[in-house]
């Protein structure tokens, strides 16, 4: 039996579920297993779980329960937001504003709309992967119907000033709708869509130690979108189909647990990020993407980014080769967005921030959680210091 220790540093791709979440999901699968649309006792029991869970999620966001639509995850939430707004507002305008920092779950639907005759403007970020509110607002027109800006970038961890972006854009066009993909931000940084003037916001369960296959979309007003699925009328026809009660219950519990520990988790993960970044920068020819100054990691959101993501390039080494070399040591990392790894290409995000040519194929993403230890980081840095010089020698031959 292989007893090799595993160090999991791919939490931006997915997280290990909390034990309590696993127990909650199992309980709903085996005990509260009724269909929430059924009128008998088992159905009412499941409907109660559904209502309780939606109130839990809504409470964390400080919004009303009827603004939460449950989906199969972040991708569906993004698609529902983008296609839903496009269908509802296409007679008002056919212009959309976004950036190449976005997840494929946003970029692909937007590209589909462009093929259908919509006009898309892509705003350029700065070198740290941050969009400036005035730049986004400058792209807004009278016929702009939607702006989509993610809260935390899934590849380099840059944090967007979504509240300021929304305010600036609505000053130009009060009718414009603002969508934010908050999959990497939910329960990790404070998010309150009403306060931040966000009209639509997407979430996912498996990024916060909850189940896979469940997520949510916040809608400030359900009338702002048209459904893209049609069926039995569940969730006020906005997203029909029998609700995933066990997944939703687990998602709500995970969100509550994450929110309760948010402040402590932020400080702890920032200390891990500093430890890892300094270890990486001690290796020759390395670069941290998204840092205001790659030679140091400042203590600010703008220069530091999200607490749980470090994107680093190891020049002269193929990211894929380094990934598998680390895997042989029991260290699991990513070479970019897991959602696009089956169709590898140069990262749109790295190109958007003007990454050096040598960095485009040599970038590794490390992402951690509260389950990550300082020893995990120390072992990872030690492995990198040993592997990178060796791999560079082989590559340069």
Q: Of residues 28, 30, 169, 339, which has the active-site annotation? A: 339
Between helix 374-396 and helix 319-328 the angle, nearest 10°, is 130
C-alpha distances out from residue 151 to 28, 208, 244, Å: 32, 15, 26
Provide the token pair at 362: 């040599």
What values do phi and psi take at 376, rounded to 5?
Answer: -60, -45
Known active-site residue 187: no
- Which residues belong to the active site? 339
């Amino acid at each position: 039996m292989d007893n090799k220790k595993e160090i999991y540093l791919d939490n931006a791709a997915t997280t290990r579920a909390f034990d309590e979440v696993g127990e909650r999901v199992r309980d709903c699968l085996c005990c509260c297993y009724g269909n929430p649309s059924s009128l008998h006792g088992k159905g009412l029991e499941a409907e109660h779980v559904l209502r309780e869970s939606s109130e839990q999620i809504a409470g964390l966001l400080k919004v009303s329960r009827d603004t939460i639509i449950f989906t199969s995850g972040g991708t569906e939430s993004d698609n529902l937001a983008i296609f839903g707004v496009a269908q509802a507002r296409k007679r008002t305008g056919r212009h959309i504003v976004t950036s190449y920092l976005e997840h494929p779950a946003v970029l692909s639907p937007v590209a589909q709309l462009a093929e259908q005759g919509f006009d898309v403007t892509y705003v350029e970020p700065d070198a740290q992967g941050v969009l400036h509110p005035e730049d986004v607002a400058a792209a807004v027109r009278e016929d702009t119907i939607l702006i989509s800006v993610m809260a935390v970038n899934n590849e380099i961890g840059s944090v967007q000033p979504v509240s300021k972006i929304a305010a600036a854009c609505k000053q130009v066009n009060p009718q414009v709708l603002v969508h934010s993909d908050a999959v990497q931000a939910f329960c990790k940084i404070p998010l309150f869509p009403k306060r931040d003037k966000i009209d639509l916001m997407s979430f996912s369960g498996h990024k916060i130690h909850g189940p896979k296959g469940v997520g949510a979309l916040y809608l400030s007003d359900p009338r702002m979108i048209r459904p893209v699925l049609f069926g039995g009328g569940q969730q006020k026809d906005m997203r029909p189909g029998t609700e995933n009660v066990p997944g939703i219950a687990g998602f709500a519990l995970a969100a509550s647990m994450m929110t309760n520990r948010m402040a402590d988790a932020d400080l702890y993960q920032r200390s891990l990020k500093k430890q890892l970044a300094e270890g990486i920068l001690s290796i020759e020819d390395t670069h941290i993407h998204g840092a205001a100054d790659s030679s140091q990691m400042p203590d600010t959101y703008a220069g530091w980014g999200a607490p749980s993501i470090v994107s680093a390039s190891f020049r002269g080494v193929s990211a894929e080769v380094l990934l598998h070399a680390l895997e042989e040591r029991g260290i699991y990392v990513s070479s970019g967005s897991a959602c696009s790894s089956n169709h590898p290409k140069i990262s749109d995000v790295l190109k958007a921030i003007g990454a050096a040519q040598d960095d485009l194929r040599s970038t590794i993403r490390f992402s951690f959680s509260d389950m990550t230890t300082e020893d995990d980081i120390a072992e990872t840095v030690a492995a990198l210091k040993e592997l990178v010089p060796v791999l560079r020698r082989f590559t340069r031959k």
